[in-house]
Structure 1
Amino acid sequence: MSSVLYDVPGPRAVARNRVLGIVTVVVIVALLAFVIWRFAEAGQFTARKWELLSYTAVWAQIGEGLLATLRAFALAAVGSLVLGFALAIGRLSDHAWVRLPVAWITEILRAIPVLVAMMLLYYGLPVLGMRVSPYWAVVIGLVIYNGSVIAEAIRAGVASLPRGQSEAGYAVGLRKSGVMRLVLLPQAIRAMMPVIIAQLVVTLKDTALGFIITYPELLYIARQLGRNILYEAPIIPFTLVTGAIYILICMALSYVAYRVERGLKRSPKVQTANAAMAPGRVHEEGTDTQILAQQVDVDGSDRK
């Protein structure tokens, strides 16, 4: 018995996989137990180190850091998506004088580390007589890197679509802009949605780099509170709490992405497109055109 992608494992392989799975779980549990034991031996679980977390004022500061993180992430996420779409469309242009410069710009932006970009904006621009606040240095640094990565994801999604999709768009009278906007980009976005969401999660986590340029985000606040000598410098407790908050936010973002992806799959247009590109289906001449004509409402501005 075999599957489409691989042979179904036999009894020996199943038993071997179970043993490997059990061993892996045991090793991970042992490592976690060792880390917890070392923390306990170092006195990281004493009541004195965790006492600061019992004060309302401390949680208010953590809340302010969380809001600063979300403010930077919200604007950076929107900016990254806008820049990503702009760069992707430029890279897909038929004109070399547009495509080549955009390709170089995308590669350069993607090669610049986020932290380097933030430090150049915050510490480098004042040398030239221009000052940028920590907030804008964080946002711009996140946008230029993550936007270039999202652009490559969208471009790859468009390039992976069957050639018949664009040909069908031209057949029903769409221009290049109409084919891109109504046919290719929607399908590419649906296909690359997990990659785009994963990059937005990276954007959220990279806001923590802002503490290096004194942006008062969540990690910066935790670091400041963890330096309190009166409470034995509880840096580990505050780091654990901050990490838990980041995990919860990323899980919430992943859940939103899951709901969006399920909503897109339930769309009648998506089901029609999936049926059109199902494996084993024979695409006769005119079939793609008929299916596309059912999805796209062609108006006079999109016709040649």
Structure 2
Amino acid sequence: MSAPTQVLFDEPGPKARRNNIVFSIVSAIVLLALVAFVIWKFADAGQLEAEKWYPFTFSQIQLVLLEGMVATLKVALVASVLAMIVGVVFALLRLSNKTAISLPGTIVLEFFRGVPVLLLIFAMFLIFGNSIGPFWSVVIGLTLYNGMVLAEIIRAGILAVPTGQREAAMAIGLRPGQVMVQVLMPQALRAMMPTIIAQIVVLLKDSALGFIVTYQDLLYQVNLIGREYRNLLPTFLVGAVLFIIINLIVAGIARWLEKRLQRKTTAPSGAAGLSGTTGAMD
């Protein structure tokens, strides 16, 4: 007899399936009613009138929104690269066997990871704003917080690599630094790539906090347009759609990079298997 299969839940019976269908229908009706109520409130407040949306047909407004999107992507790109570098460095510091190295790294990591990113951005602007400006205030604040989060992600990925990988690398004569760079780190980054992508998307959304320090990103431009034309609600809806588009683009690029990394790692093994088969046939 085969071992019984373990499942997370029992197969629903006829009554449970009927209840699930009824619950789904009721939930859909409630959701549609809520959407209809929100649309009705918008219409009652005059937010759905054509004149509220007409400014978005102006080329000047479109250009301003485009500049805001570029500014958002710019700060997110720079902060993402720097956060990855900081994450790798602090992950290695925490993994050090020497307490004199790992303890200070842990203290710094826990401090910046525990401080809200908004406070970090605001503190950078208050302390160094006159010399570095809003852009670098936002970049440094995002880098410090997200870099520490990425450090924990990368550290967890390195620790998740089977110990046999380290032992085999040491057995063939690799030094500890070579083992980390050539064996453990690449495997950890590939395993943690989905989590890293999710954190980069979070970083992108957190970049909207640059509005607080007058960085002229997408949210800043949206607020400016909404106050000038007195159509804050339609403008913020347009801004929300643009943020969703940016997030989808960033997530798509990250998934493409993940697939590319996977193809690079699977190709050598496939080639090795093919050469082995050819040798056996000979």
TM-score w.r.t. length of structure 2: 0.87
Closer, same or farther: CA 264–125 of 1 in aligned 2, 3 Å:
closer
Counterpart in the other structure of 2:30: 27
Question: Within 5 A, what are the aligned runs for 1:95-244?
Answer: 95-125=98-128, 131-228=131-228, 231=229, 233-244=230-241
Which structure 1 segments of 5+ residues have no match?
A: 274-304
Counterpart in the other structure of 1:283: none
Is the Cα–Cα contact under 8 Å of residues 2 and 8 in structure 1 kept in the other structure?
Answer: no
TM-score w.r.t. length of structure 1: 0.81
CA distance in 2, matches of 1:255, 1:16: 38
Matched, 1:266 2:268: no
Q: Name the structure where helix makes up a greater proportion of residues.
A: 2
> SS at 2:132's partner residue?
coil
Closer, same or farther: CA 16–164 of 1 in aligned 2, 3 Å:
farther
The CA deviation at 1:52 is 1.1
Is the Cα–Cα contact under 8 Å of residues 211 and 220 in structure 1 kept in the other structure?
Answer: yes
> SS at 1:45's partner residue?
coil
Residue 62 of structure 2 aligns to which amino acid in structure 1? W
Question: Within 5 A, what are the aligned runs for 1:65-76?
Answer: 65-76=68-79
Higher mean C-alpha displacement, 13-22 vs 73-82: 13-22
Alignment length (residue pairs): 267
> SS at 1:133's partner residue?
helix
CA distance in 2, matches of 1:166, 1:64: 48
> SS at 2:38's partner residue?
helix
Which structure 2 segments of 5+ residues have no match?
A: 271-282
CA distance in 2, matches of 1:62, 1:124: 30
The CA deviation at 1:31 is 2.2
RMSD, aligned CA: 2.3
Q: Pick from 91, 114, 117 the counterpart of residue 88 of structure 1.
A: 91
Q: Pick from 248, 253, 256 the counterpart of residue 256 of structure 1.
A: 253
CA distance in 2, matches of 1:67, 1:246: 11
Q: Pick from 9, 12, 26 the counterpart of residue 11 of structure 2.
A: 9
CA distance in 2, matches of 1:153, 1:124: 30
Is the Cα–Cα contact under 8 Å of residues 122 and 131 in structure 1 kept in the other structure?
Answer: no
Closer, same or farther: CA 104–163 of 1 in aligned 2, 3 Å:
same
Deviations 1:190-210 (A, max 9, x none): 111111111110111111111
The CA deviation at 1:3 is 5.6
Residue 25 of structure 1 aligns to which amino acid in structure 2? A
Residue 157 of structure 2 aligns to which amino acid in structure 1? G
Is the Cα–Cα contact under 8 Å of residues 68 and 216 in structure 1 kept in the other structure?
Answer: yes
The CA deviation at 1:183 is 1.3
Deviations 1:217-240 (A, max 9, x none): 000011011012xx4x10111101
The CA deviation at 1:99 is 0.8
CA distance in 1, matches of 2:85, 2:136: 17
The CA deviation at 1:8 is 5.9
CA distance in 1, matches of 2:95, 2:257: 26
The CA deviation at 1:116 is 0.7
CA distance in 1, matches of 2:194, 2:128: 36
Closer, same or farther: CA 104–169 of 1 in aligned 2, 3 Å:
same
Deviations 1:55-79 (A, max 9, x none): 1011111111111111111111111
The CA deviation at 1:169 is 1.3
Is the Cα–Cα contact under 8 Å of residues 122 and 134 in structure 1 kept in the other structure?
Answer: yes
Deviations 1:220-268 (A, max 9, x none): 011011012xx4x101111011100110111112222222333333344
Matched, 1:47 2:50: yes
CA distance in 2, matches of 1:28, 1:191: 37
CA distance in 2, matches of 1:22, 1:35: 20
